[in-house]
Structure 1
């Protein structure tokens, strides 16, 4: 039985953009699409109001149905199922995520600057599920040419920009790397792999020593990245791989490079702790500041 891509809907423009992005992803993967809207019951006094309670529930039930109708018309051939459930959105989406191959959520843009505002539901789903989670915001550009159809949706006929992967060569994970190469292969585009490393502190070296040590470290890190990717180049010979190794903050470099990417892929180490779950500092920063869709891939 083929899997499916799950989209969390809340009626916002961001979740509608997520559904559109997921529909194109579903077509690339040959999967079905499941749109899930979770109705969180209003407090009893509001629910008993003659007009307000029934109106809110009716509006809630329309969201998945009307979104599914729009997706079917714009993406013929994609099997779309709409689901309306009741409960706490974060809990319900996490419970359902285990059966999906990918979870897609909408996220607000930060006011005045590029980047995401990851809400509590999004953070809960990312941190608590081991399924890859992609965040998309309204107006997202996921293609090379900024061609929009009359509905404001990127045209499916335009080519994709490169996929961007943030890679830590000290602990590369096959799950994350595979996800990124597969996404690039599906899109028939290049994969840009970015490795960031920390330079030595200036104050403990003489200037000439520091320059020579910096150059040596730069060569070593670049060679390490090349060696890490060598088997993957053989496994995916059709994917053009662009390597980038430089000193500095991984989160900052990924956020800046996201301007030229169709998708950013980052890993999240699975941590099970009595004190709760965490996304990880780099993934958290990239989620808030990248300007392209971001896929967070959980790994051991």
Structure 2
């Protein structure tokens, strides 16, 4: 049975943008799309209370309205919908675990060029066991493509590149597999970014170390990518190695990208869940969609 692309909808502009992006991704992957709306209803023995009719009506209207909109805009997508009477985070984590990936909307900062992930998105990302993609409220299909010859937005031009951040000291197959598959589905190049950073080092010390450290980092990255180049010969893989803080380098490298892919290490049960400082930073400030891939 095919795992669907799952998207959380609540009627907000950011969830509608996420639904549009998810529909495009479902088509690229040849998968169905499942819309999930969480409604914190009361137990079944209280379902006959008349005061619940209004919120129940609006909950259904949000889900049906989102379905009608997607049917009109993406008629080729196989659509399903599910309303879950649980808190939003619990509902999304449960639904996301059954999907190929989970897509969530994220609110744009006014005038700052980044976006912020609300508490629901942050908590969901930190707990879902499948890849999660965050999409800005103002994201359009044209934004995933390069501008045309006159510099105008278009959906007929090639896709923008996919960017992935890696750590050569901790190779991650899940991360590279998702990034390469995403690039292959788009016939887009993949830019693999690795940052090496010497904390608190003096400028002169960094200058002396830079040549040797850069060469070592480049060789390590080349070795990491060699088997993936053989597995995905159709994907043009470009490497970027810089002395920089990882979050800053990813913010810069993702400018003009169609998708940024980063990892999240899964913590053992009992230790809680978190996204990590680099992933947390890009989730808040990168303009393009951000895919967070959990891994061991």
TM, length-normalised to structure 1: 0.89
**Residue in 2 aligned with 1:76?**
75
The residue that corresponds to 2:144 in the other structure is 142
Change (3 A) 1:202 1:271: closer
What is the distance in 1 between the residues matched to 2:273 and 2:157? 39
**In the aligned structure 2, how far is the partner of 1:255 from the partner of 1:95?**
30
The match for 1:97 is 96
User: How is 1:121-270 mapped onto 2 (pairs within 5 angstroms)?
Assistant: 121-140=120-139, 141-145=143-147, 156-199=155-198, 201-203=200-202, 207=204, 210-270=206-266
Distance 2:49 2:206 in 1: 72
1:3 is aligned to 2:17: no
Within the candidate set 282, 287, 292, 1:291 is matched to: 287
Gaps of 5+ in 1: 148-153
Q: For structure 1, which segment, 89-98 or 262-271, has the greater mean C-alpha deviation from structure 2 after superposition?
A: 89-98
CA deviation profile, 1:71-106 (whole Å, cap 9, x unmatched): 122212210112222220101111222210000000
Q: Aligned pairs, how many?
A: 285
SS in 2 for 1:259: coil
- Specify whether residues 271 and 214 from structure 1 end up closer, same or farther in structure 2 by C-alpha distance, changes over 3 A only: same
Kindly state the Cα deviation for residue 275 of structure 1 after the two structures are TM-superposed: 4.5
Q: Over the residues paired in the alignment, what is the CA RMSD in angstroms?
A: 2.2
User: Does the CA contact (< 8 Å) of 2:146 and 2:154 recur in 1?
Assistant: no
- Alpha-carbon displacement from aligned partner over 1:238-273 (angstroms, at most 9, x marks no partner): 100110000111111111222211000001000024
Q: Report the Cα distance in structure 2 between the residues aligned to 1:57 and 1:158, rounded to whole angstroms.
A: 43
SS of 2:258's equivalent in the other structure is strand
Deviation at 1:129, TM superposition (A): 1.4
The answer to whether the 8 A contact 2:36-2:95 is kept is no
Deviating more after overlay: 234-243 vs 74-83: 74-83
Question: Which residue of structure 1 aligns with residue 45 of structure 2?
Answer: none
Q: 1:37 to 1:158 in 2, by over 3 A?
A: farther
Structure 2, unmatched stretches of 5+, are 43-47
CA separation in 2, counterparts of 1:157 and 1:261? 17
TM (norm. structure 2) is 0.90
